[in-house]
C-alpha cells in the first residue's frame, strides 16, 4: 500500500519520511503501528520533564531550536532572543517545521544549568578533531554547513576562527586562548574576541554539535587575570 500512495498523501508530500515500503516489517510496525507511540511538541516535552521534577537543559543540536537560525531580520531576532528558553525553542520548532525527532538533555530542576554559559574560565572542547586540524582547513571563504533533514543552514566563519581553533586543545580556557592570541595581535580587545567566539560557538555547537564547554564542577571563580569588559 505504501508504494501505491497518491501524491496527495502526507507521507508522499513529506520528503523526510521514506514511504516506498522497502523497510523491514519491524521498522514498519515501529514507525506506523506502535501501540504507545505519540508525538511531542517542545512545550509538551517541557511539561513532561516538569512533572518528573526535571527541566530541559538543552535540545540537540541547540541551533535547530533557535529562531535566529532561520530568521535574518534583526528586529525579529532581538525579540526572539528575549524569550525564555522553552518559548524560544517552541518558536523555532514552528518556524523550522521539519523536526521529526527531539533529542535533548534533562537535568534536575534545581540544577544551575551552567553548561552552556560562555564565561572566561569555560574550556572549549572539540568533539571529533583537534583545533589545529580544523584551523588548517579554515579559509576566508569558509562557511559552516549543517543539514537538518531537507534544510541546509550555513554560518559564516568569523575572522578569528583559525586563530581561536589553533589554540583549542581541550584544556585551555577562553581567557587562556585570549591572552595567548592577543600577545601576537595586540589590537584585539576582550569584547571583540568574545563576540567572535560566540559566533564560532554558535556554528560549531549550535549547528554541528561539534564543540562543547567544560566548566569547573566546583564552580571556582575566575582567576585574577580574567579580562574586564571593555566598552
Looking at 84, 108, 132, the residue that finishes a domain is 108
Same domain (yes/no): 139, 188: yes
Phi-psi region of 200 (alpha: psi -120 to 50; beta: other; left: phi over 0): alpha
Determine the pLDDT at residue 231: 38
166 and 142, same structural domain?
A: yes
8 with 81, same domain: the answer is: no
Per-residue pLDDT, 113: 66
Domain membership of residue 228 (yes or no) is no
pLDDT digits (tens, 9 = 90+) for 115-142: 567 899 999 999 988 999 999 999 989 9
Cα 66 to chain centroid, rounded: 8
- Residue 32, pLDDT score: 83
Residue 126 CA to residue 129 CA, distance in Å, equals 6
* 89 and 14 assigned to the same domain: no
Residue 117 domain flag? no
**93 shares a domain with 29:** no
Number of folded domains in the chain? 3
* pLDDT < 70: residue spans in the chain: 113-116, 217-231
Range of the domain at 6: 2-33
pTM for this prediction: 0.79
Same domain, 99 and 162: no
Q: What is the pLDDT of residue 217?
A: 62
Same domain? For 194 and 142 the reply is: yes
Question: Which residues are CB-neighbours of 7 under 8 A, at least 6 positions away?
Answer: 13
Amino acid at each position: 500500500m505504501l508504494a501505491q500512495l497518491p501524491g496527495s498523501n502526507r507521507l508522499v508530500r513529506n520528503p523526510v519520511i521514506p514511504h516506498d515500503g522497502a523497510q523491514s516489517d519491524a521498522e514498519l510496525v515501529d514507525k506506523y503501528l506502535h501501540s504507545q507511540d505519540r508525538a511531542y511538541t517542545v512545550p509538551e516535552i517541557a511539561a513532561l520533564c516538569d512533572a518528573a521534577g526535571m527541566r530541559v537543559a538543552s535540545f540537540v543540536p541547540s541551533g535547530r531550536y533557535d529562531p535566529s537560525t532561520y530568521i535574518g531580520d534583526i528586529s525579529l531576532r532581538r525579540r526572539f532572543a528575549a524569550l525564555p528558553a522553552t518559548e524560544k525553542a517552541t518558536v523555532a520548532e514552528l518556524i523550522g517545521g521539519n523536526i521529526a525527532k527531539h533529542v535533548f538533555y534533562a537535568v534536575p530542576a534545581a540544577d544551575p544549568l551552567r553548561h552552556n554559559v560562555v564565561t572566561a574560565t569555560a574550556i572549549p572542547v572539540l568533539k571529533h578533531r583537534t583545533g589545529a586540524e580544523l584551523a588548517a582547513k579554515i579559509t576566508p571563504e569558509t562557511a559552516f554547513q549543517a543539514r537538518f533533514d531537507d534544510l541546509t543552514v550555513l554560518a559564516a566563519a568569523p575572522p578569528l576562527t583559525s586563530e581561536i581553533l589553533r589554540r583549542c586543545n581541550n584544556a585551555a580556557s577562553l581567557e587562556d586562548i585570549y591572552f595567548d592570541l592577543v600577545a601576537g595581535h595586540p589590537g584585539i580587545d576582550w569584547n571583540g574576541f568574545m563576540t567572535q567566539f560566540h559566533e564560532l560557538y554558535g556554528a560549531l555547537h549550535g549547528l554541528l554539535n561539534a564543540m562543547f564547554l567544560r566548566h569547573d564542577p566546583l564552580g571556582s571563580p575566575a582567576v585574577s587575570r580574567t579580562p574586564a569588559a571593555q566598552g
